[in-house]
């Protein structure tokens, strides 16, 4: 009897946990060039609590990230990537961080877009 009750309670708890933990996948552009960029970008994304997978494609410049949307959101992932020197469509890396990237990792930055992104970045950091 105790085994049946324990099994029923375990099943209920497992179902409740699965119901609330929602995995969400997002794709977005991240500026970068090479394999070192790929390692840096993916590592930065994975430092965000709740990120399950992060895969950046250097040919398409697209990042695919899967995360628990109860623990985090896509903006936090964008901010973590920008902090290591890579621009996204939501956040621009600070110039001093970008300038410290190795030469092969320095991508072309858009002046017009970067002004808007910098303003968004500053607003979100405060």
Residue 7 CA to residue 13 CA, distance in Å, equals 10
Tell me, yes or no, whether 17 lies in a domain. Answer: no
Tell me, yes or no, whether 60 lies in a domain. Answer: yes
Read off the pLDDT band of 65 (50, 70, 90). very high
Domain that holds residue 32: 22-125
* Token duo for residue 104: 């092969």
Please state the domain count of the chain. Answer: 1
Residue 125 CA to residue 118 CA, distance in Å, equals 10
Write out pLDDT tens, residues 95-110.
999 999 999 999 999 7
Tell me, yes or no, whether 11 lies in a domain. Answer: no
Tell me, yes or no, whether 16 lies in a domain. Answer: no
Q: Is 0.75 surpassed by the pTM of this model?
A: no
Tell me, yes or no, whether 3 lies in a domain. Answer: no
Q: What is the CATH number for 112?
A: 3.30.70.100
Tell me, yes or no, whether 39 lies in a domain. Answer: yes
Write out pLDDT tens, residues 33-60.
999 999 999 999 999 999 999 999 999 9
């Amino acid at each position: 009897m105790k085994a049946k009750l324990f099994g029923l309670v375990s099943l209920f708890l497992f179902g409740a946990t699965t119901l609330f933990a929602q995995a969400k996948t997002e794709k977005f552009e991240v500026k970068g060039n090479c394999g070192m960029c790929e390692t840096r970008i993916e590592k930065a994304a994975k430092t965000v609590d709740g990120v399950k997978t992060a895969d950046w494609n250097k040919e398409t410049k697209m990042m695919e990230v899967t995360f628990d949307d109860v623990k985090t959101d896509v903006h936090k992932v964008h901010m973590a990537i920008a902090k290591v020197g890579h621009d996204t469509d939501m956040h621009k890396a600070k110039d001093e961080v970008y300038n410290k990237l190795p030469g092969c990792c320095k991508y072309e930055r858009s002046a017009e877009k970067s002004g808007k992104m910098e303003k968004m970045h500053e607003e979100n950091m405060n």
